[in-house]
Amino acid sequence: MKTIVSQVYTFSKDNEPCETIQPGEVLKFMTMDCFSNKITGEDVTMNDLDYGYDVANPAAGPVFVEGAEAGDVLVVDIYDIQVADEGTIATDDHCGPLFETTDYRTKKIRISDGMADFNGVKFPIDPMIGVIGTAPDGEDIIDGYVGSHGGNMDNKRITKGARLYFPVRVPGALLQMGDVHAAMGDAELCGTGIEIPAEITVKVSLVKGFELNWPVLETHEKWYVNACAQEYNEALVNASKELQRLLMGVTGWDAVEAYMYMSVQSDVEINQGCKPCEVQLSLRIGTPKLPQFPPLIPQP
C-alpha cells in the first residue's frame, strides 16, 4: 500500500503529482491538522500565526490516477480514519453567527479510547474528512475553499464506510485530502471542529464517461449531493438541480415528479455555515436509496 505524505495548499491542475496509481489501489494519506500542526499548546492562538485561508487546510497529495480523463467520475471508498491522541479547537474574532462575542482562544482536546474530553465532558469521536476532492480545470482553488470539485466541504458524513464520487476535470484527476476532524457539528458554527492529524485509508476507483457536476456522497442509507455558494439560496438551487437530474436519470420520472419526490423524501443539511467568514456556504441534500431503481451513479 502506497503512503501519501506530500502536502499542498491548493487544488490545481498544475500541481505535480506525488504518486501515480492504477484504479482499484488502496492508499494511505498522512494528514496534518488545518493549522499545519502549528498550534502546539493552549497558549498559542490563531492570532499568533501568519494564518489565512491561503495557508489553511493542507491536503495530502495530489495523486494521479491512470486512465482518469475529463468527463469521468473518481470514486473514493473510505476504509478507515485513524486520528492522533490530541486535537485542537481554535476560534477567531470574525467567524460564525456569534463572531461579535468571540475572541482568539485555543483549547486542546484529549482523545482516548474513542472518546473526546471537553472540560470533563466525554463524548464519542466520529472522525470525518473536511477537505477532499479533485483538481479543477480552471483557476486554482485554495484548500480552505469549497467548490464543485469538492475541497473544503466539511461534510460530517464523510466518515469511515462512506463512498464519494467526484467529477474528473483534468487528466489523472489529482486527488488530495486533509483537514480531518475528530468530531464536528453540522454547520461548524464557530468555524472549527476538533482539528486533528490523521491517517486516512482509501480505495480509489473510476467510472468512465458519466456526467457529474457536483460531488456525491453515498452512505449505507442515502445519496447526498454536496453543493455550495456564497448564499444559502444559491447553494440550495445548485444541489437541488443536480439531485433532480440524477434522480430523473435512474427513475424515468420527469422533472416535476422528481421534484415532488425530493420534497417529501429528501433532507437539506448544512455542512458548513459559519458566515461571515469568506468561505462559501456548503450544504448537502440527502435522499434515500431506492431499491426499485439502479444506483444514482454507475458503480465502478
Residue 42: name the closest of 121, 105, 122, 119 by CA. Answer: 105
pLDDT digits 0-9 by tens, 225-261: 999 999 999 999 999 999 999 999 999 999 999 999 9
> pLDDT digits over 170-223, tens only?
999 999 999 999 999 999 999 999 999 999 999 999 999 999 999 999 999 999
Band (pLDDT 50/70/90 cuts) for residue 53 is confident
- Beta strands 198-207 and 73-83: pairing type? antiparallel
d(CA 40, CA 136): 33
pTM of the model: 0.96
How many residues can be counted in the chain?
A: 300
Is 285 in a helix, a strand, or coil?
strand
**Predicted pLDDT of residue 225:** 98
Query: Sorting pLDDT into bands at 50, 70 and 90, what band is 88?
Result: very high
Mean pLDDT value of segment 104-122: 97
Q: Could you give the CA distance from residue 168 to residue 175 in angstroms, rounded to a whole number? A: 10
